[in-house]
Chains A and B, each alone.
Chain A
């Protein structure tokens, strides 16, 4: 029989700690995935708002330009600089949001590999490790029982 240098109670405590670790990290992983989904939704909502605003501002600019054309026929001069600037601002902000959406998608792709592997660790490897540790504990208890009976 191999030499046994283990405190069974310490192993039991560690087995419990492994189980708590698995549950805790699963919650961490869930929250990470939730945060990713929430940011995607938030960016899409912002993009939607700025698309609507851009459409309104483009309509305002078109109306201003029609009014300016009619006014010019009468010899007047109506400027549409403010409307044009408002359209440019909406275009720039919408473009910025689109760039950030792309960066988030790139980041999500890079995150996918480690996330998937870790999920596999939590769902498959760690339960096996816990079972392996329990088998060691059971074996130690059995060996201690044999020794106790012999002495």
Chain B
């Protein structure tokens, strides 16, 4: 990972999302649906919430550095 933290985090989330989609093609019973509701959906929600906050924070830090370069 060499980009900005929130961009790398977004990439990781897309990759794990693709991995889950692929897994669901091979796993479609009741346990799969339960795993999706109880584990996968909360993980995605918290990840998105964090990455959105991280993005805003990184934007603020960049602006602070930029605007105080006199």
Question: What secondary structure prevails in chain A residues at the interface with B?
Answer: helix
| Candidates A18, A25, A100, A114; contact of B68 at CB < 8 Å | A100
Give the residues from 25 to 70 in chain B that come closer than 8 angstroms, CB to CB, to chain A.
25-32, 35, 39, 42-43, 46-47, 49-50, 52-54, 56-58, 60-61, 63-65, 67-68, 70
Known interface pairs A5-B29, A104-B60, A110-B53. Does A129 touch B5 (Cβ–Cβ under 8 Å)? Answer: no
* Complex interface residues of chain A between 5 and 35 (CB less than 8 A to chain B): 5-7, 10-11, 13-14, 17-18, 21, 24-25, 27-29, 31-32, 35
Given A5-B28, A104-B60, residue A10 in contact with residue B23 (CB < 8 A):
yes
- What band does the interface of chain B fall in when counting residues whose beta carbon is under 8 Å from A? 35 or more
Binding site for A on B (CB under 8 A): 1, 5-6, 8-9, 12-13, 15-16, 19-20, 22-23, 25-32, 35, 39, 42-43, 46-47, 49-50, 52-54, 56-58, 60-61, 63-65, 67-68, 70
